[in-house]
Chains A and B, each alone.
Chain A
């Protein structure tokens, strides 16, 4: 693979034979990066290289990955763990699935390098329960790597050892939240923990733990191969290196997983050039730019560059880079009801505002859609969302509140039409 390639992943997708170790070794310089790391780099040098790469976490929060690794205490006597978050549960997101299906060895090599960097001897991949086939594929790939001596004891004669366990979830959105994931991994109820302590200090089994998204980890071999600076320069915007895998869905002509250099395109360009524009020749009404929890954008707001900071400036977020396109004929009240129903269903129930509030919001929206709401219910809905957002134990509350607040703020007339009886459920 040439380091000058514009894309790092997508050229290997959609061909079943690409997922084999043979392909990875022959076509992608497979395990060369790990060999280089174990052969002569110190863990600190690896972390430093990742810092230079300016790679932001690909799971949703966008936290700089090198920084996260540097928080793992070096002098702790406890075992350390690297946990790969493959729960990919934010609605609209389907990029990690592609990585696991077609380039599983990128992930395994990334885990190998990451584990070396933080001093982990047993890494976990927590994969969502629905990804049955992907879990099997990943386990098969791990077996391939182990057979070649890329996993196990004394890897590449360096004395370094690593085992990887694939742990399947049971279908809960909340287990994509890193501490909920860790609880589930430990066999407990999938409920987020109080922070601090953060996982870097007390994570899996109360030991220092780094939790990273699949795409983040799969980028690590690229970073080592091309060097942190070159990786950073793939990004076309400050503080964001590499490429981004975008899950484009909704009312576009060509939905799918696309890869673009970070910050190289606006939202409009992505929808029009990559997605082929809104389907059926319709007009654009709204865009949900970063998974269903991100605040919605109107058709006028999509000229922002698609990356973490430009989106933050216009009051929304890049999240897991899952763009959902909404055409002009879509009923946004019903869409919001569907989104809210999802969060109410996925709330773990441990903290009060999320447990009670999400369900209340769902009830209010349900009443609106069915013509049973009062005119004051729109304001009540926004107020309830305000009592959830920023007040919960984990980010699920925010995830539920943000769409409600933004939908009502930007498309108020549609809600008013329902509560005034001008529109009703067909």
Chain B
């Protein structure tokens, strides 16, 4: 492998790698703004200066490829002066409103200013200000904070496949905006906020709700489709505040779609049913767990019983249903459901050529691996029991008695006659297989809401309940 020297350390590199990447591997951080590993290199921010032997000027590490025998200094006086100069320029017109900025605490501008800038300001002129356009429901724009790194423009063009962010005017008057001031159209707009190195593009959904440093972070996987984008759930006090993508170069790289990003909202929707409930005439009554457990066991032991397993459940949950059914309802047919029209992985495939898949549930492949055949058409049976994570689309149910086990919102409850509340993907551990068959892990971020129980617990109680004193 070829080698170069950075700050006296000898470092291996692959041909074509730039100095930011190579230095990072050696544990040397080079500050950047405009550079992003998932986007093209433009060398515009002029923050990543390094000194390269035999080159008279400072070089930008993002646009300099490592070469055999190259000797690089990242901490020389010239480099420090160059970076301090850039930091000073970037802050000339920045409002320095960190106390009221959502980005504070996770802001590249803040971090690099602390690391490479000066605590004094030599600029006393009036700052440049802008009037902001409405960018639609996802992104809040604050152009005064922008440092013109153009990551958003490049993300749109190179990743989301849409030319909607542009730079207009020039020089000191440059404005980063949407074409003709229109609202964003992409279904990947949340990423604009993730890649923005300042608080210029923030999520409306997250705005003013939590300081970044208060959030606990749980690495998990998105359940929005069969892609299985890696994401991080950021939460505090059993409330999720946002989800952001986690880097996985094999699956989602650095990105995720808005549908997946905001999918968490149903799990803390006030209309989610978190008490055991049954239908009485036209209305719904909160009831006791033991009543529903007994009824479920008694009703599903006979002939003509259909168990529906959502392809939004984990492998472990699906397997438990199969095993429990063998003892408790040996004559029940087991079928999977999830996305109408995408009943098998043969029907699944890329939806938009970016990330989204046709299957709107995460574990279609898992259901197939366990040999669960898909439900085709409506669910017709004397007794139907629906096991569901919360995302699988409910089929039409024609049954004398239908039970829902899992996550249901109020608007969904009339498909069944009784609901045994279960856990959403945020509240459980488990394994899912994405469309490629890659096994990935869901991690629990939240405690169960209300009186909901894990599916394993529900099945165990159905099989072995001795006492009527189940936690009501």
A interface vs B, CB < 8 Å?
172, 174, 189, 194, 344-360, 363, 380, 386-387, 390-393
Asked if A350 meets B88 with Cβ closer than 8 Å, knowing A172-B170, A194-B41, A393-B46, the reply is no
Bound-state Cα–Cα, A347 to B171, Å: 4
A189 closest partner in B (C-beta): B167
22 A–B contact pairs at CB < 8 A? A172-B170, A347-B172, A349-B173, A352-B46, A352-B47, A352-B90, A352-B148, A353-B46, A353-B89, A356-B89, A356-B90, A356-B92, A358-B172, A359-B171, A360-B123, A387-B81, A387-B82, A390-B58, A391-B49, A391-B85, A392-B46, A393-B43
Q: B171 is contacted by which of A345, A386, A390 (Cβ under 8 Å)?
A: A345
Q: Is the pair B170, A194 in contact by a Cβ cutoff of 8 Å?
A: no
Secondary structure dominating the interface of A? helix
Q: Taking the nearest CB of chain B, how far is it from the CB of A235, in angstroms?
A: 28
Contact at B92–A347, with CB atoms within 8 Å? no
Minimal Cβ-Cβ distance residue in B for A354: B171
Taking a contact as CB atoms under 8 Å apart, the answer to whether A387 and B88 are in contact is yes
Give B8-51 interface residues, CB cut-off 8 Å to A. Answer: 41-47, 49
**How near does chain A come to B54, taking the closest CB pair, in angstroms?**
16
Complex Cα–Cα for A413 and B30 (A): 41
The reply to whether B85 and A387 contact each other, CB–CB distance below 8 Å, is yes
- Min CB distance B145 to A, Å, is 14
Give the chain A neighbours of B89 by CB distance below 8 A.
352-353, 355-357, 360, 387
Residues of A within 8 A of B173 (CB): 349
Contact present for A393 and B44 (CB under 8 Å): yes
Asked if B431 lies at the interface with its beta carbon under 8 angstroms from chain A, I say no
Q: Bound complex: CA of A359 vs CA of B123, how far in Å?
A: 12
B171 contacts across to A, CB distance below 8 A:
344-349, 354-355, 358-359
Q: B202 an interface residue at 8 Å Cβ cutoff?
A: no
- Contact of A353 with B86 in the complex, beta carbons under 8 Å: yes
8 closest A-B pairs by beta carbon, nearest first, are A387-B85, A349-B174, A356-B89, A359-B172, A347-B171, A194-B43, A349-B170, A363-B125
B43, B92, B171, most chain A CB atoms within 10 A: B171
| Chain B residue contacts of A363, Cβ below 8 A | 125
Q: Which B residues are within 8 Å of any A CB, using their own CB? A: 41-47, 49, 57-58, 63, 81-82, 85-86, 88-90, 92-93, 122-123, 125, 147-148, 150, 167, 169-174
Closest Cβ neighbor of B40 among chain A residues: A194
In the bound complex, CA of A360 to CA of B46 (Å): 17
* Residues of B close to A347: CB separation below 8 A: 170-172
Distance in angstroms from B379 CB to nearest chain A CB is 55
Q: What's the least CB distance linking B101 to chain A, in Å?
A: 20
A355 to B81 CA separation, bound complex (whole angstroms): 18
Q: Which of A174, A356, A380 contacts B93 (CB 8 A)?
A: A356
Q: Decide: B45 and A360 in contact? CB cutoff 8 A.
A: no
Give every chain B residue within 8 A of A357 (Cβ-Cβ): 89
Cβ of B44 and Cβ of A390 under 8 Å apart?
A: no
Chain B residue contacts of A349, Cβ below 8 A: 148, 167, 169-174
Residues of B within 8 A of A390 (CB): 57-58
Report A267 CB to chain B, min CB distance, Å: 27
Docked complex Cα distance between A57 and B30 (Å): 37
- A350 in contact with B42 (CB, 8 Å): yes
Q: Which residue of B lies closest to A348 (CB)?
A: B170
B58 contacts A391, C-beta separation under 8 Å:
yes
A349 to B166, CA, bound (A): 13
- CA of A210 to CA of B41 in the docked complex: distance in angstroms? 23
Q: Say whether B172 contacts A352, CB under 8 Å.
A: no
Which of A189, A344, A353, A358 has a CB less than 8 Å from the CB of B85? A353
CA distance in complex: A386, B150 (Å): 25
A391 and B82 contact, Cβ closer than 8 Å, known pairs A351-B46, A360-B125? yes
CA–CA, A353 to B89, complex, Å? 6
B57's nearest neighbour on chain A, judged by CB, is A390
On whether the beta carbons of A351 and B93 are closer than 8 Å, the reply is no
**In the assembled complex, how far is the CB of residue B430 from the closest CB belonging to chain A, in whole angstroms?**
46
Kindly list 14 other residue pairs between chains A and B, CB separation below 8 angstroms, not including A352-B45, A356-B172. Answer: A194-B41, A348-B170, A349-B148, A349-B172, A349-B174, A350-B44, A351-B44, A356-B90, A387-B82, A387-B85, A391-B46, A391-B82, A391-B85, A392-B46
Q: When chains A and B are docked, how far (Å) is the Cα of A353 from the Cα of B87? A: 9
Instruction: State in angstroms the CA–CA spacing of A392 and B122 once bound together.
Output: 21
Instruction: Give the shortest distance, in Å, between B169 (CB) and chain A (any CB).
Output: 7
Q: Are A350 and B85 closer than 8 Å at their CB atoms?
A: no
Query: B213 → chain A, closest Cβ, in Å?
Result: 27
Residues of A within 8 A of B41 (CB): 194
When distances are taken between beta carbons in the complex, the residues of chain B under 8 Å from A174 are 170
Q: Once bound together, how far apart are the Cα atoms of A379 and B384, in whole Å?
A: 83
In the bound assembly, the distance between CA atoms of A189 and B42 in angstroms comes to 14
**Smallest distance from the beta carbon of B42 to chain A beta carbons, Å?**
6
**Please, which residues of chain A bring their CB within 8 A of the CB of B81?**
387
Residues of the B chain whose Cβ atoms lie less than 8 Å from the Cβ of A354: 171
In the complex, what's the smallest C-beta–C-beta distance from B185 to chain A, in angstroms? Answer: 21
Question: What is the CB-to-nearest-CB distance from B17 to chain A, in angstroms, rounded to a whole number?
Answer: 15
**A350 pairs with B172, CB closer than 8 A:** no
**Interface contact B44-A352, CB-CB below 8 Å:** yes
Instruction: Tell me the smallest distance from the CB of B339 to a CB of chain A, in Å.
Output: 41
- Give the distance to chain B from A188, nearest Cβ to Cβ, in Å: 11
A390 to B174, CA, bound (A): 22
Name the CB-closest residue of A to B170: A349
Q: In chain A, what residue has the closest Cβ to B41? A: A194
Asked whether, in the complex, the Cβ of A350 is within 8 Å of the Cβ of B58, the reply is no
The complex places the Cα of A174 from the Cα of B89 at a distance, in Å, of: 21
Residues of B contacting A194 with CB < 8 Å?
41-43, 63
Chain B residues with CB under 8 A of A344: 171-172
